[in-house]
Structure 1
Amino acid sequence: MSGKKSNFISKRNVVASWVPTNLEEEFADEFKHVYFIAVLLFSVILSVYVATMHRSVSGGDNGELLGCACELGIAHPPGYPTFTVLGHFFVRFFPFGTPAFRVAFMSGTCDALAGVLVMLSVHRWFLLESTLEKKSVAQAWVGSVWPSLLAGGLYSLCPLVWMYSVQAEVFAMNNFFAALLIYLILRFNEKRSLKLACLGSFSIGLGLTNQHTLVLFALPVVVWSLFVGRNVLINVRAISLLSFCGLVGLTPYVFLFTHAKYAPLGSWGDTSTFDGFMTHFLRKEYGTFQLYSGNDMQQKQVLVATLRYFKQFLLDGLYIGAPLMLLGLVDSVQARMRNPHRSPVTVIVGAWITYLLVFHSLSNLPIDKLPLFLGIHMRFWMQPHIISFMILGKGLKPFLERISCWKAQFVIPAVLLILFAQVGINYKSMDQSKNLHVRDLGRKHLEFLPPNTILISQGDLVTNSMRYLQRCEKYRTDVLLLDETMMTYKWMRNNQGPRMKKWKIKFPNELHSPNPMANTYTMEEFLAVNGRNPKFPVFKAGAWLGGVMGRQDSGVPSWHTVPVGLVSAVMRKGRDMSNEEWLEWFNKIDLFPQEPDFFAFDDRTWEWLMRRIILEWRAKVGFRFSNLAVEKANALGERAWLDRAETYIADVLRLEEIAHGHEPKTYILADLYNALGMLQVHIQHFLTSREEIIESNRKIAKFFALYVEKSPKPDISSSQEASLVTFLQQNPSYDQMIIPKENLDAQTAELAKEKAKATEPVSESARSSKQSKSSKKGKKAKDPNKKKRKNAEL
């Protein structure tokens, strides 16, 4: 009986035992080939990236990150110090291209290295299983190198990864650190040495200084490593060394302390104090563990987002990825069942599942509300793609090991054919080498502004495009770019305020808020202090923050904006530009940049949003010109003004219909139809024959009918336009003008009086008197405002 028991124990010990493996010695010749192929893969991937790389700024955070890299500023939370410092190195010492291209080259290098690490990781995974299952060298070669090459190549050249490898973004560097961590855990599984564990700890620390999503890989990796390597790692010396290496990796965060007071214009936060640093590090201003600072937390989108991830993986893996990944999962589970104590499947698949579940649980971007939000969300799928493509490569193993020797010669051309197909299918859509749209957007915002302008901006795309041009290319640095969102933070006044002395900026209180509260100032109060000096004219890019937050008057009731291109001049209500002054702006050549091609950029891209911005502002300028054309035509008796306005509006409408004609209700399309209808009403007064007036009325009926159809206004069906449409449709041969001549003359005279009053110069005595009255009114209104602030505070 005792002999049987002893025999059972000895068998159990054999199964549970772990012996270090030295794959480099056992497969020395194979590793020579693999490293050579890895160098070739890196060279090919980087060459493809460089050929398709952005030559200038792109959308999203790109402009802000580039601005920080050029001037060693502090980026938005959590700061990205490693990206900033390394990007600054490339800007200064890489000798080719614009600053944007130089930092993009850094990103491309990181993702090319990530692809190589994916290949080397799959290769090691195969060889480890080959040693455990006693496979021959020939079987190990066929079953490891080429599937490994396929996994690494498909990963690096899939559309999602490729897109962020050709621009300056933090995701490529995160891909490198995530792939490095998986590679190191495979190495640790072979030897389980303290040296490899320390290298992994350092890599985790350094990777977290770039992007915090790495922690979703790091946590399961650390837990698994401490468990399987407990004999080596669970002691005072080892824990001390691991902690030290992790802290050394985190040292780039010292940059946030050292550069807090130096931070140039456009830098975020106040990291000079411990509290300020922790606020920045933990992204408290966005909400820790949240993607953005909105309130659209989607608690139930885990399943939806995960399904969308696999749908994207289908596209990125050329549709062969899904079945191969399933085969790879099955093969990996079977391998673990055969060798439970030596297989790395637990930690690799565990990190993959942890990322998908935890990230999709925490992500608060409403991906079903706007396709652009889905595009932003998708950037975070590159990290789990590393493991998905590793499992994809693993799925080829059982197939390749079973084919006969004469068929093995077709493995290499088949793998290369798939990789060439990945490049060929996606090259045109991924080629951004001629994409200068975002640069042109920023340039057209700045180009025509008067010297020493104060430009208040809103929106990442608009603000960051200008920030890159100012901070990196030193274009129009005489313009002060004020991000209205950044004004809502207290550090804006304290840290950035001293750098705005040239423009004599004064902040009325600690921070900006569209809704009056304690220790805040509204935009109305800010403009009252900073908007009256003609040496520093104020312009607006984008909407007022109050308007974005739903304020009916946008929080600036005493001010209005006059569109003069992609920006608006900010003026006190009751004042306006003269027609001649506005026409000087309107007649400038190339006032707007070229719209991005509708068919080249879908609604998940920043170029789609840029096209919408351009068309929206072209429409605003068109509406202004239409009003001016009506006024000029009636005053001078010249129809050419109306024809020019009609051509301008029709051109914008054509582009808008291509882009957004499928939307059932949209204000901009409705307003364009309305403008064409109103212009036609005034064109009637230059028509001479009955037939021309009848045709004009048919056009009016058509345009106003489309206006009523497209307008989102709830009471549009009872509007004057709707009544007019009904009347004209019932009377198709109506031959009278919509507005009689005498009524039009009276309207024209009244409008001329109001215009003259709004544009006439105000004497100094009158201005002083007006300011005195307004200050008295302010004093009278002081108490109720104070009460409102108290209520809001409570």
Structure 2
Amino acid sequence: MKEILMFQISHMFTEVTPLAPALAILALIFCVINRSSNMSEVGLFAIMLLGYSLFFSWRANLDIAKPLFLGVVERFWMQSNIVVCVLAGLGLASLARSVSVKLTNKHWIFYTEWIFTVVLVARQISVNYSLCDQSSNYVVDTFGRNILSSFPLNAIILLRGDLPGNSLRYLHYCEGLRPDLSLVDQEMMTYDWYVPKIAKHLLNVHFPGNRWNPVETKLPDGTATFSLLRFLKVNEHREIFVCIGLNEGDPTWRKSYSLWPWGSCEKFVPTNIPFDAEEWITLTTNLYNWTEEYGKFEQSSWEAVANGEMWEARVKTAFFIFDLAESAHLSAAVKNQLYFYSYKLYREVINKQENHPITWHKNYAIACERMLRQQRRDIDPGMLLDDAIKHFSAYASKAKDDNQRDAILHAVQYFKEERLRLKHSLKGNT
């Protein structure tokens, strides 16, 4: 609570300048000293400000150490800043009246008051206009359009989270984009009111009950719950995707379905369908037309979240294939080929981008290490060692708080020694 209050005060000083809270305090002081007629109004505003700030700081449960959550919390401080500005105006008026009583030329203080107000407002506009002007900001719009356009015809999309939920629903319902798709909110599907209402609009989506719950039952009031597995079964004639992520409270689907990467989203695929890496790479490569630079936006903004999701989508298939190759039940030949596909995808995307998420360095270096183990003749081991050294070193230099950093640096040293041994062996052979 104390931490959020301190952040709120700091935010207030940044947004409305220290003059505003100073004038607001003056308003309270003059109100008490002069026993003015508007004392009740000023007191009401002060109580509102104090009550709102204390209550919000007490109830806010977001970790403001994370930039995005801090940005979310900051939006709720606009209300308190408005009250501070109102009190600041009263404080300035009270100060002007107090000074004018002692002056014979009252016009001078009148003009000074107005000049001060105009200058302060103009200063705020000049400082904040560029930040507030979002007329050319289409990042979230482009994010939503890219995702919607990537889905096959007549698919069902199970939405999760504010960013995909709001952006995709707006484009779909308000702008009429991709009317063939059916958008269903995962979180809302757990409420009693949602399914009966949405079912009236999504006639081609079958809801096998009134509410989503992993435990299927019929409640005394007649409400029937259904599991995710049941939902997938009754809609198996349509392709179903989750975007972004899946509620982990219902594991009933895991024995019958798998989730395969589809850009920022994932697709439900029956477990009896074998994974064809080449086909899936072809399907999921270049799903999106995304041109924003990595790290371009403030980390507290939704634009940064959208940008991050789009960048991570570029390596999602590579990560999935690598994770699949790590499975113990696969044959050595299959593992070898999957590692190769993952390595190839990582290499292609990293060579195209100079600035990218630092985790790509680590993941690609690990992919190189796995390829070294495979001892394939079609890939130069010297190149693999060089890339592993380069990208492990790059990751270690940037991710100083990674608890595996020492192990990574040790691996770099080992690869350097291996590189020397390889050079010596090549010289000996010549």
1:211-290 equivalences under 5 Å are none
| Residue 423 (structure 1) shift | 1.2
2:123 to 400, 418, 421: 421
| Residue 342 (structure 1) shift | 6.4
Does the aligned pair in 2 maintain the 1:437–1:596 contact within 8 Å? no
Matched, 1:697 2:381: no
Q: Which residue of 1 aligns with 2:328?
A: none
Does the aligned pair in 1 maintain the 2:315–2:346 contact within 8 Å? no
Q: Which residue of 1 aligns with 2:421?
A: 734
Q: Which residue of 2 aligns with 1:569?
A: 267
Instruction: State the aligned residue count.
Output: 400
Matched, 1:356 2:53: yes
> Closer, same or farther in 2 for the Cα pair 1:379/1:678, shift >3 Å?
same
Tell me the amino acid that sits aligned with residue 171 of structure 2.
L
Q: Which residue of 2 aligns with 1:276?
A: none
Distance in 1, Cα, partners of 2:90 & 2:230:
63
Does the aligned pair in 1 maintain the 2:350–2:360 contact within 8 Å? no
Q: Which residue of 2 aligns with 1:656?
A: 357
Q: Which residue of 2 aligns with 1:370?
A: 66
Partner of 2:158, secondary structure, is strand
Distance in 2, Cα, partners of 1:652 & 1:421:
40
1:14-29 equivalences under 5 Å are none
Partner of 1:501, secondary structure, is coil
| Residue 430 (structure 1) shift | 1.5
1:521 to 215, 220, 226: 226
Does the aligned pair in 2 maintain the 1:457–1:463 contact within 8 Å? yes
Matched, 1:512 2:243: no
Identity %: 21
Tell me the amino acid that sits aligned with residue 529 of structure 1.
V
Does the aligned pair in 1 maintain the 2:365–2:392 contact within 8 Å? yes
| 1:676-711 deviations in Å (ceiling 9; x for gaps) | 5546777974467xxxx5464243244356678969
| 1:290-333 deviations in Å (ceiling 9; x for gaps) | xxxxxxxxxxx1x3333322221111213322322222222222
User: Taking structure 2 as the reference length, what is the TM-score of the superposition?
Assistant: 0.77
1:471 to 170, 173, 178: 173
Tell me the amino acid that sits aligned with residue 230 of structure 2.
E
Matched, 1:388 2:84: yes
Does the aligned pair in 2 maintain the 1:454–1:537 contact within 8 Å? yes
Q: Which has the larger radius of gyration?
A: 1
Distance in 1, Cα, partners of 2:320 & 2:312:
13
Distance in 1, Cα, partners of 2:62 & 2:346:
39
Q: Which residue of 2 aligns with 1:72?
A: none
| 1:230-254 deviations in Å (ceiling 9; x for gaps) | xxxxxxxxxxxxxxxxxxxxxxxxx
Partner of 1:516, secondary structure, is coil
Matched, 1:483 2:185: yes
Tell me the amino acid that sits aligned with residue 300 of structure 2.
R
Distance in 1, Cα, partners of 2:95 & 2:389:
68
Q: Which residue of 1 aligns with 2:93?
A: 397
Matched, 1:322 2:24: no
Q: Which has the higher contact order (CA 8 A, sep 6+)?
A: 1
> Closer, same or farther in 2 for the Cα pair 1:648/1:495, shift >3 Å?
same
| Residue 466 (structure 1) shift | 1.0
1 or 2, which has the higher helix percentage? 1
> Closer, same or farther in 2 for the Cα pair 1:537/1:696, shift >3 Å?
closer
Partner of 2:157, secondary structure, is strand
Distance in 1, Cα, partners of 2:135 & 2:369:
42
1:769-784 equivalences under 5 Å are none
> Closer, same or farther in 2 for the Cα pair 1:465/1:683, shift >3 Å?
farther
Distance in 2, Cα, partners of 1:308 & 1:679:
49
> Closer, same or farther in 2 for the Cα pair 1:708/1:581, shift >3 Å?
same
Q: CA RMSD in A?
A: 4.0
| Residue 340 (structure 1) shift | 7.0
> Closer, same or farther in 2 for the Cα pair 1:711/1:463, shift >3 Å?
farther
| 1:466-509 deviations in Å (ceiling 9; x for gaps) | 11111111111111111111121233333322433324x142x4
Does the aligned pair in 2 maintain the 1:603–1:609 contact within 8 Å? yes
User: Taking structure 1 as the reference length, what is the TM-score of the superposition?
Assistant: 0.44
Partner of 2:421, secondary structure, is coil
Partner of 1:733, secondary structure, is helix
1:344 to 41, 45, 49: 41
Does the aligned pair in 2 maintain the 1:437–1:594 contact within 8 Å? no
Distance in 1, Cα, partners of 2:31 & 2:361:
55
Q: Which residue of 1 aligns with 2:240?
A: 538
